[in-house]
Structure 1
């Protein structure tokens, strides 16, 4: 199990995941932060990046925030 610090930037022109020097991730999402759309897109992107099922990714805190703690169950 791994916990990541993720900063989300919704409404970006293109999807992108950037690794920061401190080990955290900055994720640029196309979706707006409305009705959980950005969170769903975040989970899908992380699933593709780490090659794990979406069901193994949980947003532990920050559901309504740009700064999130995400748990990956590998």
Structure 2
């Protein structure tokens, strides 16, 4: 697995992300060190960027919003996110990003 994507024993995935808020469009950009860079079309104000990040990941991964959890980085650009209920197809799709 990539350094930014880690599988847990319980089947969950942990993503290490570098988030750039205030972008024109929300999209994965590529690797940024040992994290996946993600441009986010939301301002870093009042938790809006974190909410937009979790909603984007839930949609991209076809998971319910409750399955996507921000583990760390609430007020930082470097974030760790947990995805519960990820299958092999999702792992392959994410691995292909970087």
Q: TM-score, normalised by structure 1?
A: 0.89
Structure 1: which 5+ runs fail to align?
A: none
Which deviations, in whole Å up to 9, do the C-alpha atoms of 1:5-64 show, x marking residues without a partner? 011100011111234287742111111100000001100110111110111111101010
Matched, 1:49 2:53: no
In the alignment, what sits opposite 1:70? Answer: 81
- My pick for the range that moved more, 20-29 or 64-73, is 20-29
Report the Cα distance in structure 2 between the residues aligned to 1:41 and 1:58, rounded to whole angstroms.
12
Bigger relative contact order, structure 1 or 2 (CA pairs below 8 A, ≥6 apart): 1
Matched, 1:13 2:24: yes
Q: TM-score, normalised by structure 2?
A: 0.69
Structure 2: which 5+ runs fail to align?
A: 1-11, 86-98
Report the Cα distance in structure 1 between the residues aligned to 2:49 and 2:33, rounded to whole angstroms.
23
SS at match of 1:20: strand
Q: Which has the larger radius of gyration?
A: 2
Pairwise CA RMSD: 1.7
